[in-house]
Amino acid sequence: MTIPIQTELGSAPDGDPKHMSCTDPATKEPLGEVRVDTPADVEAAVARARAAQIAWRETSFETRRDVLRALMAFTVEHKDEICADIQRDSGKTRENALMGEIWTTCEKFRWMIKNGEKHLRPERVSSGLLLHKRARLEYHPLGVVAAITPWNYPYQNLVNPIIAALMAGNAIVLKPSEWVAWSSARFIDAFRGVLEEAGHSPDLIQAVQGRGETGAALVRANVDTILFIGSVKNGRRVIEGSAERVTPVVMELGGKDAFIVCDDADLEQAVHAALAGCYVNCGQNCVASERILVHERLYDAFERRAAELVGKFRQGSSREGVVDVGAIITPLQLDIIEKAVAGALAQGARLVAGGKRALTEKGDYFEPTILADVTADMDIAREEVFGPVMLLMRVRDDAQAVEIANGVSYGLSSSVFSKDRARARRIADALETGMSAINDFGGITYMAQDLTFGGVKESGFGRMNGRDGLRSMCNVKAVIDDRFPISQPNKMYPVTASQYGVFSGVIDLVYGRGFRHKWRGLLRLLGRGQ
């Protein structure tokens, strides 16, 4: 069985406002073209989603789990085809596609099927002094979720918001990056087909394709919440657009993750984790370990071992054999990486490995690179690179490592390596980030779906994943009702002469400091005090 496809194939000149040409960045092979949706198309997609959501919001949790099981089964059964499409559209390796997109997505499915209902059931809470009342929090569907997703994980970035949205009783409208429009069209068509086979409206999942104009139209559309994953620059634009309707947003933006290696760290463990943090998906990760802060006692040994291993990396397309590092997804990003490395070398960084474009006759590649002697005042130490570049920075102690780690505008994830767990926790606690991993690279937290995913400072706000990520797609309603089937009117009117004294006594009795204050309150409550 092949993945269904409704993408328009053929050729179109670059710059065609009505179509987007799609190519394999690893081979420059044409993949086809995808039609650009207009603002009117966006409005129509949102309307279809809203109409479909009316019935879906009334479904049981078991029905929703059944749909998620069907979508997970499709993912598992077609993982090879999905990986092949990911490779062709993004240039990443086969192994990165399988582990970084299929495995993580399946874990999201598993967690949601097991735990989703638990976190969406009404939750009893204390009614405080209202002893005759019961209080609870209810989690109702918002309606239509908009998700604007980037190009670095074409399958995972699409499917994960679908999972949460459907479980919460919502419909969803997705706007994938124009750089992975071809594979996104295929995946979304396939998921709509699974919904239809399960007896539900495929309109619960909508896709709008295009460039900035299409994304802006979705932000300003009649949606109930927006999930945005992308750059700080575009995140600001989303916030500005969402303000027109006061639409709530969850922002997962960029990162400049610090990876701290203490002097007592296991060298081999730290080096291999750094390789994963820097080179998985060719470094095109928001949680990439972009700054490796190594204690001066281990610095030279760390550099030698990292250089030894990186020197053995194989680069190219997985379609031609087993490789370690793939292509850069967009030619624009290739330019950014090249300029960042050149700028660092001009500012005094030392080139240890790589440093230039590679395999230019085949596609968009940049060599796995190591830059040593990077300092905190260099541009490359503050600005997101989003490429296969390891930055080695020397630190004299834990305090300096924390100072450098916190000295950037981002605060997404972080890593700390030490054999002393208490020491590692102290350092992690001091880091201004939304996530921390001890003795592993920061991105590993994504596999623990009970954990939330998100950052602070310019890395965004709000959370994906876990209980809080799921509930962000709900209207959290506070409800209070009668504990006993007894009519007990709250007689506040007409106001009596004693009312102020009685309630003043209650305040003193309940909230007053010390026995004397509380005793005075009791007397006032009984009408015996002033």
* 367-382 residue pLDDT tens: 999 999 999 999 999 9
Is residue 471 within 8 A of residue 478, CB to CB? The reply is: no
What is the band of 13 on the pLDDT scale with cuts at 50, 70, 90?
Answer: very low
CA distance 63 to 311: 52
Q: Is the pLDDT of residue 435 over 60?
A: yes
Mean pLDDT for the stretch of residues 143-159: 97
Specify the pLDDT at position 14: 53
Mean pLDDT for the stretch of residues 454-480: 97
Specify the pLDDT at position 492: 85
Q: Which two tokens stand for residue 168?
A: 């919460």
What is the band of 419 on the pLDDT scale with cuts at 50, 70, 90?
Answer: very high
Q: Is the pLDDT of residue 355 over 90?
A: yes
CA distance 436 to 456: 12
CA distance 28 to 19: 18
Specify the pLDDT at position 8: 35
The dihedral formed by the CA atoms of 43, 49, 54 and 57, expressed in degrees to the nearest 10:
-130
Mode of pairing for the β-strands spanning 19-23 and 410-411: unpaired
pLDDT digits (tens, 9 = 90+) for 219-275: 999 999 999 999 999 999 999 999 999 999 999 999 999 999 999 999 999 999 999
Mean pLDDT for the stretch of residues 136-164: 98
CA distance 235 to 499: 53
* Of the listed ranges 295-304, 338-347, 364-373, 520-529, the one predicted with least confidence: 520-529
Specify the pLDDT at position 487: 80
Specify the pLDDT at position 439: 98
Q: Is the pLDDT of residue 2 over 50?
A: no
Specify the pLDDT at position 4: 38
Mean pLDDT of the chain: 94
Q: Is the pLDDT of residue 529 over 80?
A: no
Mean pLDDT for the stretch of residues 152-172: 98
Q: Is the pLDDT of residue 415 over 80?
A: yes
Give, in order, the Cα–Cα distances in Å from 2 to each of 84, 201, 278, 507: 12, 21, 34, 70
Strand residue runs (E) in 197-348 = 205-207, 225-229, 249-252, 258-261, 291-295
Specify the pLDDT at position 479: 97
Give the percent of the chain with pLDDT over 90. 89
Mean pLDDT for the stretch of residues 145-162: 97
What is the band of 526 on the pLDDT scale with cuts at 50, 70, 90?
Answer: confident
The reply to whether 40-253+467-477 and 258-450 are identical in fold is no
Specify the pLDDT at position 525: 84
User: Which residues, in sequence order, are bridge partners of residue 137?
Assistant: 123, 478
Specify the pLDDT at position 528: 81
Specify the pLDDT at position 35: 96
DSSP conformation class of 274: H
Q: Which CATH superfamily is domain 40-253+467-477 in?
A: Aldehyde Dehydrogenase; Chain A, domain 1 (3.40.605.10)
Phi, psi dihedrals of residue 400, rounded to the nearest 5°: -65, -40
Is residue 449 within 8 A of residue 465, CB to CB? The reply is: yes
User: Which residues, in sequence order, are bridge partners of residue 50?
Assistant: none
What is the band of 6 on the pLDDT scale with cuts at 50, 70, 90?
Answer: very low
What residues are annotated to the active site? 252, 286
pLDDT digits (tens, 9 = 90+) for 72-95: 999 999 999 999 999 999 999 999
Q: Which two tokens stand for residue 345?
A: 């070398």
CA distance 88 to 97: 11
Mean pLDDT for the stretch of residues 123-130: 95
Specify the pLDDT at position 311: 97
Question: Where along the chain do its domains lie?
Answer: 40-253+467-477, 258-450, 492-530
Q: Is the pLDDT of residue 489 over 90?
A: no
Specify the pLDDT at position 384: 97
Mean pLDDT for the stretch of residues 345-371: 97
* Of the listed ranges 220-234, 456-470, 480-494, the one predicted with least confidence: 480-494
What is the band of 10 on the pLDDT scale with cuts at 50, 70, 90?
Answer: very low
Q: Is the pLDDT of residue 23 over 90?
A: yes
Specify the pLDDT at position 15: 61
Q: Which CATH superfamily is domain 258-450 in?
A: Aldehyde Dehydrogenase; Chain A, domain 2 (3.40.309.10)
